[in-house]
């Protein structure tokens, strides 16, 4: 299978190219383009993500050293640093944003049955924001503080497979709670959030849309207890109460009763307060759902460490957003390939192998299957050692 094709070409075979061309036409991405197409741009940037290139000059040097293989990689034009820089700066970043969303639409059904730590059939999302620091003099379009620039990555993560379903890129001044205005509530789904998203008018919009939320409560929240439910304190749950807001503005924004759960974490010794509009699930399940919110933090840490979104190849807003969306596309593409080839290796292990084998011609499924085989050597291997 795929014998003779380069590993990079085999990986890119999983891209829906018809959808990509539609995205290009939608935003007129190849208007007045003579040779370096949007697909060439995407493949060059994807190559940079997969092989951990650090700069445009680095990309140019690596691809020119393998210029006889560019056609087999799927790149039909010579990759020059200035050409790639101009493409990133000029071509509409929404091409790659829409394409990433189409890849997400392919990936999510593949992970529908993926466990995530809580025995629950409903869809569970973790919502959070991460900040990528920038230099204010180089990125003046992304103000954050008086002497610092930044972009914020607002992400809604599907905990089944850790697939990002919604991403919004903003400058550093946009508060994370404002992203709730852009979410369309999914009836029956759970949204897990930290205290930074406390805005009861926006939370009531989720409630009115038939969604459930679990949010960390603030210590100074003014509520009145209406009813106390029986709890098993040996599980760490201190109390499970039905409450109403007593503060004027909070009660005006959220007039319905809420459920307040106090929980003591044995490992850290901290007492946590959770608010939710779901009264059906056990209190311990609610606390476990919030614990799973940590997956979005791991997602941010993972993409910052293993994808190129901390050092940018361009300084314009369009170039930065293009690079981030292509990085997200690469992440989701590897997740799709992992599921389609039924690989048990982690995304980190797959990326490490791919970074060193882009120009090999080994079948992709056999190459990545070797990871597991290497970790589980056969018991029949009777290697003798000269020294014990």
Per-residue pLDDT tens over the stretch 333-366: 999 999 999 888 888 888 888 888 899 888 888 8
d(CA 216, CA 196): 9
- What is the rounded average pLDDT of the residues 159-179? 91
Please give the backbone phi and psi of residue 52, each rounded to the nearest 5 degrees, phi first: 60, 45
DSSP assignment of 22-61 equals HHHHHTTTTTT--SS-HHHHHHHHHHHHHTT--SHHHHHH
Above 70 in pLDDT, residue 3?
Answer: no
d(CA 52, CA 348): 13
What is the overall mean pLDDT for the chain?
Answer: 88
Q: Where do the structural domains in the chain lie, given as residue ranges?
A: 7-96+315-367, 115-299
pLDDT score at 384: 42
DSSP 8-state secondary structure symbol assigned to residue 166: E
For 252, other C-beta atoms within 10 Å of its C-beta total 11
CATH number attached to the domain at 115-299: 3.90.350.10
pLDDT score at 307: 67
- What is the rounded average pLDDT of the residues 247-253? 90
- What is the rounded average pLDDT of the residues 210-217? 94
pLDDT bucket at 113, cuts 50 / 70 / 90: confident
Containing H/E element for 197?
A: none
């Amino acid at each position: 299978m795929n014998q003779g094709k380069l590993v990079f070409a085999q990986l890119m075979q999983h891209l829906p190219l018809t959808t990509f061309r539609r995205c290009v036409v939608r935003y007129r991405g190849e208007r007045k383009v003579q040779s370096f197409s949007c697909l060439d741009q995407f493949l060059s940037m994807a190559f940079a993500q997969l092989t951990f290139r650090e700069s445009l000059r680095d990309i140019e040097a690596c691809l020119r050293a393998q210029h006889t293989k560019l056609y087999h990689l799927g790149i039909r034009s010579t990759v020059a640093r200035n050409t790639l820089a101009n493409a990133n700066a000029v071509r509409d970043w929404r091409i790659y944003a829409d394409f990433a969303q189409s890849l997400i639409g392919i990936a999510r059904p593949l992970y529908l049955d993926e466990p995530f730590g809580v025995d629950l059939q409903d869809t569970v999302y973790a919502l959070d924001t991460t900040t990528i620091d920038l230099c204010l003099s180089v990125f003046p379009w992304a103000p954050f503080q008086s002497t610092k620039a930044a972009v914020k990555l607002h992400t809604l993560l599907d905990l089944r497979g850790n697939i990002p379903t919604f991403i919004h890129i903003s400058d550093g001044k946009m508060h994370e709670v404002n992203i709730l205005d852009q979410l369309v509530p999914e009836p029956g789904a759970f949204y897990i959030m930290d205290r930074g998203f406390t805005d009861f008018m926006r939370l009531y919009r989720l409630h009115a849309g038939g969604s459930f939320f679990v949010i960390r409560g603030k210590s100074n929240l003014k509520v009145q207890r209406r009813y106390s439910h029986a709890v098993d304190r040996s599980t760490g749950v201190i109390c499970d109460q039905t409450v109403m807001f007593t503060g004027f503005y909070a009660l005006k924004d959220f007039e319905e009763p809420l459920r307040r759960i106090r929980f003591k974490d044995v490992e850290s010794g901290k007492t946590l307060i959770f608010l939710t509009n779901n009264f059906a699930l056990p209190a311990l399940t609610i606390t476990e759902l919030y614990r799973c919110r940590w997956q979005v933090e791991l997602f941010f840490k993972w993409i910052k460490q293993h994808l190129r979104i901390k050092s940018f190849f361009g300084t314009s807003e369009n170039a930065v957003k293009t690079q981030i969306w292509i990085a997200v596309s690469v992440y989701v593409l590897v997740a799709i390939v992992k599921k389609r080839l039924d690989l048990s290796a982690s995304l980190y292990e797959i990326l490490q192998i791919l970074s060193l084998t882009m120009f090999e011609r080994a079948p992709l499924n056999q190459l990545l299957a070797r990871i597991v085989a290497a970790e589980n050597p056969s018991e029949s291997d009777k290697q003798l050692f000269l020294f014990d």
